[in-house]
Structure 1
Amino acid sequence: MIPIPFRKHFIPIILSTCLVLPAVLQSCKKKHEMIAEDMFRITQNEIFKKADTEGYIPVFKRVFTKYRSKTANPLAIESFFKKNEYQPLLVINHLNNGDLEALPEYLDKINEHGLDPTMYPSAEIKALVAKLKDKKAIKTIDEAYETVAKLEVLTAGALIKYSNALQYGVINPKKIYSRYFMATRRPDSTTMLATLNRADFKTLLDSIQPKSPQYLALQKAYRDSVTIEGLSREESKRYLLVSLERLRWRNKPFEPKYVIVNIPDFRLDVIEDGKSVLNMKVCVGQGRNMKNQNTLEHFDDTARADKPFPRETPILNSLIHSVEVNPIWNIPRSIATKEIIVEAADDRYYLSNKNIDVFKDGKKIEDPETIDWSQVTPDNLEYEFKQRPGEDNSLGKIKFLFKNRSSVYLHDTPNKEAFRHAMRAVSHGCVRLGDPLGLAQNLFGEGADLDTISKDMVEDKPNPTNIGLPKKTPIYITYVTCWADDNGTIQYRPDVYGLDIVLYAHLQSFLAK
């Protein structure tokens, strides 16, 4: 018996609970009935009138566990199902609008992008759709649950895998390349959930087909089995495959004006509104494959590990923010140990002839000729080296600065001979410019800053002049070995850093057979 003092408080609680409980039970009952109503409505199979959520969810979880290891991005897909309380929304919303018939058609055509359609369960999806649409094919409620759950899981996995492949590529370049510092968008849970929540899959699948002129040109060449001049048919195919994958990466310039350097082409372009308004030869860092001894023609899978030569120019994007006219070259320790101390040991006047100052603990040494450089080794090197401005300065008369983790920049050079050669992977990692004043004119435009730059570049000034750009300009240092030129002809360049070989190795399991 309830004590009298508590009765007046306890009775309202009992009444409240009695009122709420039927509402909760009614809500649960309605939720259980919804799957039956929806599935019967779209299939017209009487068996689905017996369906309820409590019976379906355990079957779904078992099916998802079975396919999980083969499902692309299982965490994102699982969060979609959890958020929707495991209701089979993909089947309910898309079985009768043509989407589930359309999806396998797109999956089967992914070989047109050079990718393997057998990696997608299009045949299973087709069979499951046909089974659900046959009013008499499913005989028991357990079979009904199993069929719906399989179609739900396979559809989600295939849709995400396909849309990610076409919109972002199948390889994450940051995971395979050691010196890749380009901002590159990758699919995240938000984008994947948005894909699964789309009301019309067919519209989505049409919209994500790559449409850039370059992609379409290389895709056509791949479909037509074009043999690129200078390559065999098989190597041509491999060039096209790695190039199509690169074009799928979300790392392309989006600004109306930018500077772009293509390492294998040894070329810089200034692009404005999609057109090159200035181009020039450049020299880039020395690479591991400059003699083209390793090619896609004679590919073997041992090339999966990226092992860059120390002087290779990194792939990156940044903003050019200023120039330094008559620059000082702060000689990197790597160059000092391998070149400077060796030359100084052979010629006691090498440092003074090259206008190189020597510092120890931040203090300049007045007579570096008195040092016995033959006794200085990379292990005991305690000096720093700086080359003063002048005609012999390795950076020439101007350098263009942009933030990056590799301490590289664009710069002039006193060594013009290298620009006469086809192979121009000759620098320590920075990019040497064939027409540095031309780039300055383009970036600064006419005015006092350009006048100062032009004047100081022809004078022997002992100190650098720093000038900020009126507007920072994006720069992209890229690696593209194959493209269609303005006439539609497929061009290729030797894989000077061997990066095609690394990418092709990682693409193997994704490629059409």
Structure 2
Amino acid sequence: MAVVSKSYLLSHVAAAAVGVALSFGLGAGVLQAEVPAYVQSLGESVSEDAAISAFYQGRNFAPIWTGAQDAARRSALLNVLARAGDHGLPVSRYDAGALVAAIEAVKTEGDRGRIEAALTRAFLAYAHDVKSGVLEPAKVDPGILRVVERPDEARLLAAIAGADPMAVLLDLPPKAPEYARLMKEKLALQGAVAAGWGPEVAAEKLEPGDTGPAVIALRDRLVALGYMPVSATAVYDAAITAAVQRFQSDHGLLPDGVAGAGTVAEINIGPEARLKSVVVAMERLRWMGDFDRSGRYIWVNQPDFTAQIIDHGRVTFQTRSVVGKNSVDTRSPEFSDQMEHMIVNPSWGVPRSIIVKEYLPLLQQNPQAVGHLQVVDRQGRVVPREQIDFASFTAKSFPFGLRQPPSDGNALGKVKFMFPNPYNIYLHDTPAKDLFAKEVRAYSHGCIRLADPFDFAYALLSAQSDDPKGVFKAALDRSGEQMLKLDRPVPVHLVYFTAWPTSKGQMTWRRDVYGRDGRIFDALTEAGVVLGGVQG
């Protein structure tokens, strides 16, 4: 950020002194003794920040917080800052208590200039954090490729200096209804942390008909979590079975009513861990900003292993998905883009990383290995394998590509859905249908596989055709790759939420399959976030 030279700034300070004096209704004697001290103090305090300096120069250094006419604006800011912890923000960055103490300690016009600058910096820091997030996503995890739109400081300052500062402050947090629901859950969990949800369930597996202390512990946890009313039963009866099924559905588990190892592990997670997930989810929503929810978009929540089409806020299509394996090179990334078309009968251009790490070693041992793949040059022409000495190349020097032509066994199946991006990530069909029966579905090299790709295609095409199945089948019946362009691009959001409220406000929870939530919470803690929202 550009730095304003003090000599340049002080020339404006001197020129502004008279205007400030008149705006305050002060006499000439006060102008000489006090007003310049305020202006000079404010000017020096903001001289290192170009946006703030320009703002105050543009208003001849007149205050927006510390003048007699600014009481309502100042009160609005301090009230909002005092509740910053409700948003899971680092309250020490804009400590309302410290600001109040500093205001009460003001004795000179120089002090007033410094507190004017401090209030402005606190406002901008809060606005930055609550509107677009505390952290830089890619610095926390390289798989979070989300582009965060940061608020413009000049516009923020112009807005807060207007007639309705409280409206400006209340407009800063994300408008997504899920954000308000997450905040409500955060406040509830803060109370639950102190009270707890009762003893953990000490069992590897419980099922209908079982009795004993572990069943009682399971019952008490289900009651504390709101899945069943208060009960004195000591038997794993129909009420407990139904409550377990509801719990399993909300936690991405097979709803069989049996408390197996996975269910017991989830039910033993305490309120503090859930609170961390909520705080992270709020930060993730802030990174996404107020994206357009008024029309159609695609929502792929990786820990939920689903892909949804959402129209005007309502889920109109959902299918199971497979995401990337939990390893450094294969985890599915997080970002947003625009789906533009689909390719029916796709060929698979094997990613370079897979070629050199997995297939080149096989070809060096046996040139006829992976025979379902064609070797192609940079122009896409097929090169006979007998013309290539695979052993003479390294992973870095290997000049060829590998391609699987359209077929029933093609790794992409019969259709892929394209939102061109530099990460070579897309949604697609797969011949490996058995993976969709698994509870945790992290098996791909990073792309998103769909359990019902044809139905997904029909749903997308229905926005532009009265016969989406016929359009798709006609492309499928033709030989070779066929492109079906979407008349209107559809936003795609590849997201990662382990805590997410339904449209009815019911919280759902998922496992942190990539450990990203843990890394984000650690970074938030390092930035000053505390779980209860109160500094210790």
**TM-score between both structures, scaled by the size of structure 2:** 0.73
Specify the alignment match of 2:292 in structure 1. Answer: 254
Query: What are the equivalent positions in structure 2 for 1:4-403 lying under 5 Å apart?
Result: 32-39=17-24, 48=30, 53-64=35-46, 74-92=49-67, 94-96=69-71, 98-127=72-101, 129=103, 143=108, 145-210=109-174, 212-225=176-189, 226=192, 229-255=267-293, 256-288=295-327, 309-344=328-363, 349-352=368-371, 354=372, 356-360=373-377, 362=379, 364=381, 367-368=384-385, 377-403=394-420
CA contact (8 A) 1:170 1:510 kept: no
Partners of 2:380 and 2:90 in 1: how far apart? 62
Structure 1 residue runs without a partner (length 5+):
1-27, 69-73, 133-137, 289-308
Specify the alignment match of 1:481 in structure 2. Answer: 498
How big is the shift at 1:146?
A: 1.7
How big is the shift at 1:451?
A: 1.7
Structure 2 residue runs without a partner (length 5+):
1-12, 198-224, 226-266
**What letter is aligned with 1:203?**
A
Range 357-366 or range 101-110, more displaced: 357-366
Specify the alignment match of 1:507 in structure 2. Answer: 524
CA contact (8 A) 2:46 2:52 kept: no
Partners of 1:75 and 1:489 in 2: how far apart? 45
**What letter is aligned with 1:432?**
R
CA contact (8 A) 2:377 2:383 kept: no
Specify the alignment match of 1:7 in structure 2. Answer: none
Which of residues 425, 428, 438 is equivalent to 1:411?
428
How big is the shift at 1:370?
A: 7.7
CA contact (8 A) 2:64 2:70 kept: no
Partners of 1:101 and 1:449 in 2: how far apart? 57
Partners of 2:289 and 2:173 in 1: how far apart? 17
CA contact (8 A) 2:132 2:289 kept: no
**What letter is aligned with 1:336?**
I
Partners of 1:387 and 1:414 in 2: how far apart? 13
Partners of 2:497 and 2:378 in 1: how far apart? 43
Specify the alignment match of 1:71 in structure 2. Answer: none
Which of residues 446, 456, 470 is equivalent to 1:451?
470
How big is the shift at 1:76?
A: 2.0
What's the Cα RMSD here? 3.2
CA contact (8 A) 1:182 1:316 kept: yes
**What letter is aligned with 1:232?**
G
Partners of 1:63 and 1:29 in 2: how far apart? 15
- Aligned-residue sequence identity (percent) comes to 25
How big is the shift at 1:107?
A: 1.4
**TM-score between both structures, scaled by the size of structure 1:** 0.76
Range 28-37 or range 394-403, more displaced: 28-37
Shift in alpha-carbon separation, 1:30–1:405, aligned structure 2, 3 A = closer
CA contact (8 A) 1:437 1:454 kept: no
CA contact (8 A) 1:266 1:284 kept: yes
Partners of 2:446 and 2:76 in 1: how far apart? 49
> Rg larger in 1 or in 2?
1
CA contact (8 A) 1:36 1:51 kept: no
Shift in alpha-carbon separation, 1:77–1:410, aligned structure 2, 3 A = same
Shift in alpha-carbon separation, 1:246–1:480, aligned structure 2, 3 A = same
Shift in alpha-carbon separation, 1:123–1:38, aligned structure 2, 3 A = farther
